[in-house]
Amino acid sequence: MNAADIKEKAFVEIKKIESTSQLEEARIRYLGRDGLVNQLFAEIPELPREEDRKKAGIYLNEIKLEIEEALAQRDRQLKKLSAKELEKVPFDITASGIQITGGLGSIHPLTQLRQFVLDTFSDLGFEEVSAPHIETDDYNFGLLNVSADHPARDLWDTLYLEDGRLLRTHTSNMQVREMKKRLSAQAGKPPIRVMTFDRCFRYENLDPQHSHTFTQFEILYVDHHVSMANLRFLSDYFLKRFFGEKTKTRFRPKYYPFVEPGVGVDALGPNGWIEIAGAGLVHPQVLRNGGIDPNQYSGLAWGFGPDRMLMAKLGIDDIRSFYEGDLRFLKQF
Q: Quickly list DSSP for 104-123.
A: S----HHHHHHHHHHHHHHT
Q: Clarify whether 27 is annotated catalytic.
A: no
Residue 258's Cβ-count burial label (10 Å; 0-12, 13-18, 19+) is buried
> Which of 27, 182, 202, 308 is flagged as catalytic?
202
> Which of 259, 267, 277, 286 is flagged as catalytic?
259
> Which of 37, 153, 216, 286 is flagged as catalytic?
216
Can you give the three-state secondary structure of 226-267, one letter per residue? CCHHHHHHHHHHHHHHHHCCCCCEEEEECCCCCEEEEEEEEE
Rounded CA Rg of the chain: 31
Contact 257, 145 (CB under 8 A): yes
Q: Clarify whether 152 is annotated catalytic.
A: no
> Which of 170, 193, 283, 308 is flagged as catalytic?
170
Q: Clarify whether 112 is annotated catalytic.
A: no
Q: Clarify whether 216 is annotated catalytic.
A: yes
To the question of whether residue 260 is assigned a binding role by annotation, the answer is: yes
- Residue 332: DSSP 8-state: T
Q: Strand locations in the chain, DSSP E?
A: 127-128, 134-135, 166-167, 192-201, 213-223, 249-253, 259-269, 272-282, 298-304
Report strand pairing: 192-201 vs 127-128.
parallel
d(CA 213, CA 210) in angstroms, rounded, equals 9
CB atoms within 10 A of CB 312: 17
Q: Clarify whether 301 is annotated catalytic.
A: yes
Helices and strands (H and E) in the chain: how many: 11, 9
CB atoms within 10 A of CB 110: 17
Residue 268's Cβ-count burial label (10 Å; 0-12, 13-18, 19+) is middle
> Which of 33, 49, 89, 156 is flagged as catalytic?
156
> Which of 226, 301, 302, 308 is flagged as catalytic?
301
Quote the Cα angle for 217-221-224, to 5°.
170
Annotation: binding site for Mg(2+): 260
Annotated binding site: which residue ranges? Answer: 260
Catalytic site residues? 156, 170, 202, 216, 259, 301
